[in-house]
Amino acid sequence: PGFVGGKIGKDRMFELMDGFLKNDPISLQKDILHHVEYTVARSRFSFDDFEAYQALSHSVRDRLIERWHDTQQHFKKKDPKRLYFLSLEFLMGRSLSNSVINLGIRDQCAEALSQLGFEYEVLAEQEGDAALGNGGLARLSACQMDSLATLDYPAWGYGLRYQYGLFRQIILDGFQLEQPDYWLNFGNPWEIERVHVSYPVKFYGNVKEDVVNGKKCKVWIPGETVEAVAYDNPIPGYGTRNTINLRLWAAKPSDGYDIESYNTGDYINAIVNRQKAEIISNVLYPDDRSYQGKELRLKQQYFFVSASLQDIIRRFKDVHGNFDDFPDKVALQLNDTHPSISIAELMRVLLDEEHLGWKKSWNIVKQVFSFTTHTVLPEALEKVPVDLFQNVLPRHLEIIYDINYAFMEELKKKIGQDYARLARMSIVEEGATKNIRVANLSIVCSHTVDGVSRAHYELLKTRVFKDFYELWPEKFQYKTNGVTQRRWIVVSNPSLCALISKWLGTDSWIRDIDLLARLREYASNSDLQKEWMMVKKINKMRLAEYIETMSGVKVSLDAMFDVQIKRIHEYKRQLLNILGVIHRYDCIKNMDKNERKKVVPRVCIIGGKAPPGYEIAKKIIKLCHAVAETINNDDDVGDLLKLVFIPDYNVSVAELVIPGSDLSQHISTAGHEASGTGSMKFLMNGCLLLATADGSTNEIIEEIGAENMFIFGAKINEVLTLREQDSTVEAPLHFVRVVRMVREGYFGFKDYFKSLCDTLENGKDFYLLGSDFASYLEAQAAADIAYVDKKKWNEMSILCTAGSARFSSDRTIEDYAEKTWGIKPCKCPF
Ligand code: T68
């Protein structure tokens, strides 16, 4: 469509608008003051930091909107194949700093503000953290959106606009308490409400037979309808005009809702009932990896999937007369199984609404979906009880049964009467309660199944999805995860960013990460090393101040900052870390004065949220606090050892902590972390890794070299055997001793920690802390030795950054675009 601007014409319109917004400091200043007065509605002579943040954000938002419009117009004109990234979780964190960096207006904003008497950094700190996700999976989605925009791919993200994000973690007497995160309280300048983009989403009811055009078909008569309203979040690329969209859906009562109550005159109750519709998008489920049987969770999944597909199909039909081209124009990416009902939903739309018939519909469906799985734990695979499905989505259940029937028939032809294998592969799990296995549905109906690291892929092939791999080996691939260097170096570590650009003589690495490898040449250059160390020191100072504010503990900058930040889970083994700290403490206590002089001082930092219902994880947090209380108040130990827990870990906290770390721990029991992406952020920031050979670590070893890391512990293929031996092999004495200290109440709370100790002893040590303990301590000792040799340490640190290029999400996304989605860049002209 051409220009629709009324009678005045395009040129006059531009004149009136004064062209595009300008990015010099004066123009920015004018815009900021304009927004202070007319958007924030404060006097331009009196506004505070938060109001200045709001006005600045709106000024940045205006610029995002211009680019967003141009990009969408361009996509529309070119009509390329588009990727739709479906994810129930996005951990975006803050948007201001990221946006100004990607728009290339950071310095201009800072200058504009400073003349107005404000400091850019202070304003950036005013922003809350958008935490619409749990952990790795959700932050990965955010990093991938940044790469999709930067690399000019015609892509959109779809998700849910939760009113409550991931709970806030409060620590009271060392115990975790959860508080609601009502993140929208202070407004959200980064979203655009689209009151006119809304779709009805149906639930419950029953299915009837009907005849359309002389052909039998099914009609779903819903029992409830809820309206999905779009909120658009512009995602700007770096060094490009392209700005893509993250469309999040909010639930609103539908107009047709409960008409009967109105008619019966029960006006107040009718309104109250209407309001209940909003519950669907109220709250993000904290990941306890067991949503089985939760009706609201299923409704959330279907709600966002149904609205997204209606939107996608409408956009497609605007341009295309029939569905033949659909697979050439649309790629649908399933971020884990959470959006997988979209398979049945697309099938339903094509069958029941477009009347394309089974064969044609199925032929389309199986060409458009790709599925990425993020877990190795079989118990984390989603299942939905058939009864629940039947009640909430009766027509979808029928369709899934039909898909399964066809699949089982095909399978029998291939493998014969191997009933055990047929039962394992069936989408429907038979048993006391019948379940839909969502992963099986996703594999059967997707053209590609991706793992998130090579090790993960091997486990998928040989264990988790072995039956499916043997049937369709060509479907299985992997794309090792990556993180965006824009957020994790440029935004969060500006000093390092400047240093890298200075030594490379260019800042092109921000878009072309492979250039980082050239730092290797200078790894032993003493000038670079000096500057490198200075940058680390500045970041450690910032972190030390934060630690003191949050926990009251003063830490020495000469100490090695040793960090483990991630969700708390037994398999991630924060407990191993704490037991290691206890061992270190115990050793120091038993040293004489001279021996103590040789100890490398450490600040051990742990942070992360435990799922609210996960008792053992919560006990680990409490243990950390109890041990910290003892160590940090022991004058005997002083600066030689500190243990601190950083509360309410989130994206913004990570941005502060990672640049200030010397060493970071990624110590999951081998074979349990599908990939891990925290390690990549530390690596980029020149922080050394102490890690097990799990998930993506194996690939990091290939890039950095084991000699520049501290690798320990059992390998993936040793874990099963070790587990069988566990009850017969004695745990090392050091291990027995530290566990006994906890068990016998050295740190207090003896009764409370009993069940935690029980997970480690008497053959129950499932995550193999005992059998990995000795080699863990060796790796820690090696880190101490390396830290003393500053030259060596700096060289290793530089080599970490230099070797991190492979772990940019730019590489991951290019791989997906080419091998899984079949999409090409579509660059909006400047
Ligand atoms: C993580 N998974 C993996 N899941 O644990 C991690 N799960 O190894 C990997 O690097 C990362 O995904 C990215 O691929 C998760 O974060 C969840 O958060 C989750 C949420 C709901 C239900 C199940």
Output the 3-class SS for 289-334: CCCCCCHHHHHHHHHHHHHHHHHHHHHHHHHCCCHHHHHHHEEEEE
Average pLDDT of the chain to the nearest whole number: 96
Examine the residue annotation and report whether 567 is marked as an active-site residue of this protein: yes
Which H helix or E strand runs over 99? helix 96-103
Instruction: Find the domain containing 111 and state its range.
Output: 17-78+95-126
In this predicted model, which residue has the larger pLDDT, 214 or 310?
Answer: 310
Under the banding of pLDDT at 50, 70 and 90, the label for residue 258 is: low
Mapped onto helix, strand or coil, the DSSP state of residue 226 is strand
Under the banding of pLDDT at 50, 70 and 90, the label for residue 447 is: very high
CB-ligand 1 contact for 311 (6 Å cutoff): no
In tens, the pLDDT along 200-253 reads 999 999 999 999 888 899 999 999 999 999 999 999 999 999 999 999 999 999
Centre of ligand 1 from the C-alpha of residue 441, in Å = 19
Mean pLDDT (whole number) for 555-569: 98
Examine the residue annotation and report whether 480 is marked as an active-site residue of this protein: no
Mean pLDDT (whole number) for 453-466: 97
Under the banding of pLDDT at 50, 70 and 90, the label for residue 55 is: very high
**Do 366 and 459 fall into the same domain?**
yes
What is the spatial distance between Cα 675 and Cα 456, in angstroms, rounded to a whole number? 7
**Do 99 and 136 fall into the same domain?**
no
Examine the residue annotation and report whether 715 is marked as an active-site residue of this protein: no
Put residue 254 in one of left, alpha, beta given phi > 0 → left and psi -120 to 50 → alpha. beta
What is the per-residue pLDDT for 124?
A: 98
**Do 421 and 454 fall into the same domain?**
yes
How many domains are contained in the chain?
A: 3
Residue 717 placed within a domain: yes
What is the spatial distance between Cα 287 and Cα 233, in angstroms, rounded to a whole number? 24
In tens, the pLDDT along 632-680 reads 999 999 999 999 999 999 999 999 999 999 999 999 999 999 999 999 9
Amino acid identity, position 599: V
**Do 470 and 617 fall into the same domain?**
no
**Do 551 and 436 fall into the same domain?**
no
Q: Which of 67, 536, 567, 573 is catalytic?
A: 567
- Please tell me the residue having the least CA distance from ligand 1 atom 10: 676
Residue 304 placed within a domain: yes
Mean pLDDT (whole number) for 20-35: 97
Q: Which of 677, 692, 801, 812 is catalytic?
A: 677
CB-ligand 1 contact for 676 (6 Å cutoff): yes
Q: Which of 61, 168, 396, 572 is catalytic?
A: 572
Q: Which residue has the tokens 């998700």?
A: 159
Residue 611 placed within a domain: yes
Last residue of a domain, one of 785, 803, 818: 785
Measured CA to CA in angstroms, residue 157 lies from 201, 394, 658 at distances of 19, 28, 27
CB-ligand 1 contact for 673 (6 Å cutoff): yes
What is the spatial distance between Cα 124 and Cα 53, in angstroms, rounded to a whole number? 7
In this predicted model, which residue has the larger pLDDT, 306 or 293?
Answer: 306
Measured CA to CA in angstroms, residue 67 lies from 42, 472, 691, 810 at distances of 28, 42, 42, 21
Q: Which atom of ligand 1 is nearest to the CA of 677?
A: 10
**Do 383 and 399 fall into the same domain?**
yes
- What residues does 235 pair with on adjacent strands? 244
Q: Which of 801, 294, 805 is nearest to 513 (CA)?
A: 805
Q: Which of 698, 660, 703, 644 is nearest to 676 (CA)?
A: 698
**Do 638 and 752 fall into the same domain?**
yes
Residue 749 placed within a domain: yes
Question: What is the number of other CB atoms lying within 10 angstroms of the CB of residue 409?
Answer: 9
Question: What is the number of other CB atoms lying within 10 angstroms of the CB of residue 680?
Answer: 27
Q: Is the pLDDT of residue 5 over 60?
A: no
Q: Which of 563, 575, 577, 581 is nearest to 681 (CA)?
A: 563
Measured CA to CA in angstroms, residue 373 lies from 72, 82, 533, 566 at distances of 30, 21, 39, 19
- What residues does 202 pair with on adjacent strands? 225
What is the spatial distance between Cα 691 and Cα 372, in angstroms, rounded to a whole number? 25
**Do 627 and 749 fall into the same domain?**
yes
Of the residues 145, 374, 609, 682, which should be mutated to test ligand 1's pocket, given the most ligand atoms within 8 Å of the CB? 374
Q: Is the pLDDT of residue 259 over 80?
A: no
What is the per-residue pLDDT for 260?
A: 66
**Do 612 and 734 fall into the same domain?**
yes
- Please tell me the residue having the least CA distance from ligand 1 atom 15: 137
Q: Are 446 and 369 in contact (CB under 8 A)?
A: yes
What is the per-residue pLDDT for 726?
A: 67
CB-ligand 1 contact for 686 (6 Å cutoff): no
CB-ligand 1 contact for 135 (6 Å cutoff): yes
Mean pLDDT (whole number) for 149-173: 98
In tens, the pLDDT along 783-801 reads 999 999 999 999 999 999 9
Q: Which of 168, 247, 374, 625 is catalytic?
A: 374
Under the banding of pLDDT at 50, 70 and 90, the label for residue 11 is: confident
CA atoms within 13 A on the CB side of 429: 18
Amino acid identity, position 345: E
Examine the residue annotation and report whether 572 is marked as an active-site residue of this protein: yes
Q: What percent of the chain clears pLDDT 90, i.e. is strictly above it? A: 91
Residue 575 placed within a domain: yes
What is the per-residue pLDDT for 215?
A: 87
Residue 593 placed within a domain: yes
Q: Which atom of ligand 1 is nearest to the CA of 456?
A: 8
What is the per-residue pLDDT for 821?
A: 98
What is the per-residue pLDDT for 611?
A: 96
What is the per-residue pLDDT for 1?
A: 40
CATH of residue 195: 3.40.50.2000
Residue 267 placed within a domain: yes
In tens, the pLDDT along 510-525 reads 999 999 999 999 999 9
What DSSP line would sit under 776-815, residue for residue? HHHHHHHHHHHHHSHHHHHHHHHHHHHT-GGGBHHHHHHH
Mapped onto helix, strand or coil, the DSSP state of residue 249 is strand
Mean pLDDT (whole number) for 183-206: 97
Mean pLDDT (whole number) for 114-137: 98
**Do 67 and 136 fall into the same domain?**
no
Mean pLDDT (whole number) for 83-100: 98
Q: What percent of the chain clears pLDDT 70, i.e. is strictly above it? A: 97
Last residue of a domain, one of 480, 512, 528: 480
Q: Which of 94, 329, 622, 681 is catalytic?
A: 681
Which H helix or E strand runs over 621? helix 615-632
Amino acid identity, position 399: I
What is the spatial distance between Cα 447 and Cα 819, in angstroms, rounded to a whole number? 11
Q: Are 352 and 395 in contact (CB under 8 A)?
A: yes
**Three-state SS letters, 482-496:** CECHHHHHHHCCHHH
Q: Which of 186, 179, 189, 182 is nearest to 165 (CA)?
A: 182
What is the spatial distance between Cα 575 and Cα 618, in angstroms, rounded to a whole number? 11
Q: Is the pLDDT of residue 58 over 70?
A: yes
Of the residues 91, 132, 137, which should be mutated to test ligand 1's pocket, given the most ligand atoms within 8 Å of the CB? 137
Residue 767 placed within a domain: yes
**Do 70 and 156 fall into the same domain?**
no
Centre of ligand 1 from the C-alpha of residue 374, in Å = 5
Cα–chain-centroid distance for residue 217?
A: 41
In tens, the pLDDT along 325-343 reads 999 999 999 999 999 999 9
Mean pLDDT (whole number) for 387-399: 98
Q: Please report the beta strands in 568-639, taking only residues with DSSP state E, as ranges in sequence order.
A: 602-607
ipTM: 0.99
Q: Which residue has the tokens 């100490």?
A: 559
**Do 184 and 116 fall into the same domain?**
no
